Amino acid sequence: MLVLGVESSCDETGVALYDSAHGLLAHALYSQIAMHNDYGGVVPELASRDHIRRVLPLTRQVLSESGRTLADLDGIAYTQGPGLAGALLVGAGMARALAYALGIPAVGVHHLEGHMLSPLISDTPPEFPFVALLVSGGHTQLMLVSGVGRYTLLGETLDDAAGEAFDKTAQLLGLGYPGGPALSKLAASGDASHFSLPRPMLNSGDFDFSFSGLKTAVLTLVRKQGLEHAADIAAAFQAAAVDVLASKSLAACAHSGSSRLVVAGGVGANTHLRERLTREAAARGIEVFYPRLEFCTDNGAMIAYAGAQRLAHANADLTFAVKPRWELATLDAV
């Protein structure tokens, strides 16, 4: 089954072609980061307008790169939410219209399901069940995943998301948007032990997180110290955030008896988090799975993949049934 995936929930237009027999055939991404950088964050109206400009050229690109045509498609998957309404409408409108014109099914995909399943786009995917740490700009969740669509929430952030905390801290340190990669780069030249920052909820005994207090602690530190020690502050922040994320993820694995941990979402690209998790997990007999680095942040491949799983399992809905007995009064109103 050949599925076109379209992601347009925020500031990246991602399009990909996934074949359930041959894997990922092509993917293309256009990032609006440079455009939003001037404003210090995503401007929704500008994002929607830019998705309109990019989505069709990217679709033509993945088709031509993989030597396929629209006629080869068996289904189209698009991000249905969560995200910016106008931005989502661009992908959804394009995907639905194209599917209708081609006479093939379209399926709306949950953006976070895309992230969570993204490590499965691999030659050596993790088997179910696994614990997933989902760390994006808008969400921080620990889930127990026992199959596609079989998700149990173990814990989540009570305030800021991990990526949001990286972004806000980066802003306090005078770094650009999005802050995560810039902060992580600056932290590499800093000394994390120079300042001690709180590890909120580290010992709360559950799998919930809180990052807003950490951000406030950085604000207080910046007011006191100025930006002279920015690299040390960045390193101390990263150490604190990673400490909580890693500890709770490993505790969630122990709690659910899982020997597999999947890390997905933008913050999953963080080198410090990866090193720490891989090292500590190995010592506990836990295997950690990450998406390819380019699929940590938003992309079309994860939507095409999740859509392919849903379309494959929606087979029953795609068949038709006759109704030998059918009351006229039971028809749906239009």
Interaction site with Zn ion (CB under 5 A): 136, 298
Q: If binding is defined by CB under 6 A, does position 178 make contact with ligand KG4?
A: yes
Closer residue to ligand KG4, CB minimum distance, 29 or 73:
29
Q: If binding is defined by CB under 6 A, does position 141 make contact with ligand KG4?
A: no
Position among 70, 181, 199, 256 found at the interface with ligand KG4 (CB under 6 A): 181
The structure tokens 């014109």 sit at 101
Distance CA(177)–CA(184), nearest Å, equals 13
Q: If binding is defined by CB under 6 A, does position 50 make contact with ligand KG4?
A: no
Size of the site for ligand KG4 (CB under 6 A): 19
Distance CA(281)–CA(246), nearest Å, equals 9
- Alpha helices by DSSP H, listed for 77-209, are 85-102, 111-117, 162-172, 179-187
Closer residue to ligand KG4, CB minimum distance, 232 or 298:
298
Structure-token pair, residue 37: 């950088």
Position among 14, 180, 200, 291 found at the interface with ligand KG4 (CB under 6 A): 180
> Sheet holding 140-147: strands in order across?
150-156, 140-147, 130-135, 260-264, 287-289
Least Å from the CB of residue 266 to ligand KG4 = 2
**Cβ neighbours for 219, distance < 8 A, ≥ 6 positions apart:** 172
**Cβ neighbours for 252, distance < 8 A, ≥ 6 positions apart:** 131, 133, 142, 144, 154, 155, 207, 258
Closer residue to ligand KG4, CB minimum distance, 281 or 303:
303
CA-to-CA separations, 41 to 113, 164, 167, 176, 317, in angstroms, rounded: 24, 11, 9, 9, 41
Least Å from the CB of residue 14 to Zn ion = 10
Position among 80, 140, 141, 184 found at the interface with ligand KG4 (CB under 6 A): 184
The structure tokens 């199959």 sit at 147
Least Å from the CB of residue 309 to ligand KG4 = 19
Least Å from the CB of residue 332 to ligand KG4 = 35
Listed ranges 14-22, 123-131, 188-196, 259-267: which one lies at the site for ligand KG4 (CB under 6 A):
259-267
Q: If binding is defined by CB under 6 A, does position 81 make contact with ligand KG4?
A: no
Least Å from the CB of residue 10 to ligand KG4 = 6
Tell me the three state secondary structure of residue 48: helix
Q: 212-225 and 162-172 are packed helices; what angle lies between their axes, rounded to 10 degrees? A: 10
Q: If binding is defined by CB under 6 A, does position 155 make contact with ligand KG4?
A: no
Residues that bind ligand KG4 (CB under 6 A): 115, 136-138, 163, 166-167, 178-181, 184, 265-267, 269-270, 297-298
